[in-house]
Amino acid sequence: MKRSGLEPKRRDSSDGFSAGTIPRPETTGEHIAHWVSQLGSPPAAGVAASSITVARLTMPGLWQWVSIYVLLALVAPLGFLIWQVRQGRVTDLDVYFRKQRKGSLLVTIAGLGLTWLLMNLGRAPPILRFMVGAGLLTWAAIYLVTLRWKISIHAASISGMGFYLVWGFGLGAVPALLAIPAVGWSRVKLRRHTPAQVIAGTGLGCLAVAVAVLCSPSLRTPGFLTR
């Protein structure tokens, strides 16, 4: 099949992993799964959660804090990952091979950690500190698991976002949970993960938010964003 001019060139990484072995979407179902996966990617989930939160609240300075979060915890790690791909250090933006994930995970954790520190020093609204803290817990746990086993980061991010929105907005946000099985299905359909890896990622994302809730006494009541 002739390669489209818009299709990214497959490159082998410097550590010997071959991009040619990565599953690519071929059928109509797989192309649909590809776009579902893109819309439910970790950066997209982070932008969605922060934007919905800010749109609901009227506290001064919220957009400034969210801008810092987006820059340090989303844009910087994504930029680093794109640089890794261009340098041939990883094969693709999804980082299909587990052993290639360490660098981008550490940069993401550093960005979240710095954001969380700045928010606490600057006394940012508790809800934003809660959101960033939950994200930091999620990515730290993902890193530890990834040292030995491949887990779905997409599933962890989208489930964390869904659980966070339902806890914050109450039953009105339950439709957001539909994104969890949709993204999970897409990752399995694209053969990027096994069902077990998706289920584990989903559980990890929910658990991280639950731990963050327990560590935030003022936010332990479901629907706190609607009050």
Residues of the chain with pLDDT under 50: 1-10, 13-14
Residue 26 φ then ψ, to 5°: -125, -45
The stretches of 21-152 forming alpha helices (DSSP H) are 28-39, 42-56, 62-69, 76-86, 102-121, 126-146
Read off the pTM: 0.86
Could you report the per-residue pLDDT of 130-164, keeping only the tens digit for each? 999 999 999 999 999 999 999 999 999 999 999 99
CB 10 within 8 A of CB 19: yes
C-alpha–C-alpha distance, residues 34 and 25, integer Å: 7
Could you report the per-residue pLDDT of 155-165, keeping only the tens digit for each? 999 999 999 99
Tokens of 123: 């006394």
Domain ranges of the chain: 28-226
Q: How far is CA 5 from CA 2, 11, 27, 85, 140, in A?
A: 9, 15, 19, 18, 38
